[in-house]
Amino acid sequence: FAGYISQVLKNYTDHACDGEYVSLRCPHRTTISIQSSFYGRIVPSHQMCPSRYPHSYATLIKEDVACSVGTSLQKMLDECQDRRSCQFLVNSRLFGADPCPGTGKYLLVWYKCRPNEYKSKVACEDDKLRLSCKKSMVIAIYSAIFGRTQGGSLECPYQTLGMPMIECQSATALQLMIKRCHGKRSCSIYASTYEFGDPCYPGIRKHLNVIYTCDNTPFLLPVDERQPPAVNSSMEPVGVSTEMALLSNILAAYAFVT
């Protein structure tokens, strides 16, 4: 479960030079969610994707290091979004007109692995948010936002009172929700500035929006609910304590947030 969650929370990055295959893959029960994409060249070839042309020919061509296409994100969405895996050969023909003929280009892709099934809950400011999973299932936090989003919240309509519609979000909401709820069957937290701080100007109404999934785990059960521990040749119990498993998960999540 710790490995599954760290893979879900992780921001993946992949790249491929012209003439190479790019391959994106997500773990079981998750799908690809494209975050951003770039195709072109913004660094010299000696730093990334060396020129495929003979050295004598490459020196005759001035390399363009301010070259990009605007269709790379849409192409990645078309090819990979919501799939478990995808793979294709990278070349300029995929992205339309070549913005810099004679310059070798590369593709950079940033993506996440989104659970196939997930739930969303919202609590208005100063209300309590409760999350729960069925027996033998535990909470896996996917995202958390505390503040005010541009689109607002249907559950928590804003009274503008002459205030402009600005967006403001806590930078620590995800980290706090993981610490409070990650690996538990149920948890609760107040959507308050006491818990999350105030990322907005005073007087701006905020809300907490959490996306999570429930999954099976044999690793985070309390000690008295686990199977009898395995023993080694010296007949001493072998295993990892619940506290260490939780600490490992929190550290993995903190590394992602950082």
pLDDT at 117: 75
Query: Distance between CA atoms of 38 and 90, rounded to whole angstroms?
Result: 12
pLDDT tens by residue, 116-138: 777 889 999 999 999 999 888 88
pLDDT tens by residue, 95-115: 888 888 888 899 999 998 887
| Averaged pLDDT, 153-181 | 78
- In the chain the domains, ranked by start, together with CATH numbers, are 1-115 (2.60.120.740), 119-215 (2.60.120.740)
DSSP 167-210: -EE-SSHHHHHHHHHTT-SEEEEE-SHHHH---S-TT---EEEE
pLDDT tens by residue, 194-217: 999 999 887 788 899 998 888 775
Q: How confident is the model at residue 26 (pLDDT cuts 50, 70, 90)?
A: confident
Handedness of CA 95, 96, 99, 102 (dihedral sign): positive
Q: Count of residues for the chain?
A: 258
| Cα distances (angstroms) measured from residue 258 to each of 122, 144, 177, 210, 253 | 25, 15, 15, 19, 9
255's tokens: 């590394």
pLDDT at 153: 67
